[in-house]
């Protein structure tokens, strides 16, 4: 897999985290760098870990599904992308950062958000194993891109509010669906 494709996948996967980061930043009156870095580390760390877990799971199933792996990759990426599109256009309740327990920068809340936004990366890791792609570089790139996008999202959220939040999540979904089609067409 080419570096450009991995970067597009990383951008697509980071859009959920970016959207949550923008919304989280909007709960602050001014930017707190430690909070932005903490969110970036949680989101980037989980986004780097989940593809490795998916890749390891895929290796154990490789012999059973090698004949139709491109269809599985297409379906997984399309499902993740479709979910992101759905989430982008679904009406969401806005949350206030009113107390320590409800604040998105609280460690417990942040862990739940990081796991929730990185589930798609698990499916992408499975796809990488089916395509026989080494996982080290993609996982590091996905983690780094998500870290940067999350920190930028918190910054944007503190200044610009929610304007880009849903548009970026939709763009990420479209990118993943496009890559799924590319994989499918290259194997047909």
**What pLDDT does residue 96 have?**
46
* Residue with the larger pLDDT of the pair 37 and 20: 37
Q: Which residues of 164-175 are buried (b: 16+ CB within 10 A; e: fewer)?
A: bbbebbbbbbbb
Instruction: Say what the pTM is.
Output: 0.72
Tokens representing 69 are: 């792996």
Determine the Cα–Cα distance for residues 138 and 151; give it in Å rounded to an integer: 20
Q: pLDDT tens, 121-163?
A: 888 898 898 888 899 999 999 999 999 999 998 998 888 655 5
């Amino acid at each position: 897999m080419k570096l450009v494709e991995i970067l597009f996948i990383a951008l697509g996967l980071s859009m959920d985290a970016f959207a949550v980061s923008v919304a989280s930043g909007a709960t602050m009156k001014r930017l707190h760098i430690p909070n932005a870095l903490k969110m970036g580390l949680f989101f980037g760390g989980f986004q780097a870990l989940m593809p490795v877990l998916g890749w390891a799971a895929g290796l154990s199933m490789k012999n059973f599904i090698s004949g139709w792996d491109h269809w599985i990759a297409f379906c997984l990426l399309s499902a993740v992308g479709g979910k992101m599109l759905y989430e982008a256009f679904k009406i969401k309740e806005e949350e206030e950062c009113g107390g320590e327990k409800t604040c998105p920068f609280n460690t417990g809340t942040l862990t739940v958000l990081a796991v929730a936004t990185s589930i798609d990366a698990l499916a992408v890791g499975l796809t990488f194993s089916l395509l026989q792609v080494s996982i080290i570089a993609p996982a590091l790139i996905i983690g780094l891109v998500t870290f940067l996008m999350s920190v930028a999202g918190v910054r944007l959220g503190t200044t610009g509010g929610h304007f880009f939040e849903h548009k970026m999540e939709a763009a990420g979904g479209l990118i993943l669906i496009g890559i799924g089609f590319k994989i499918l067409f290259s194997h047909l």
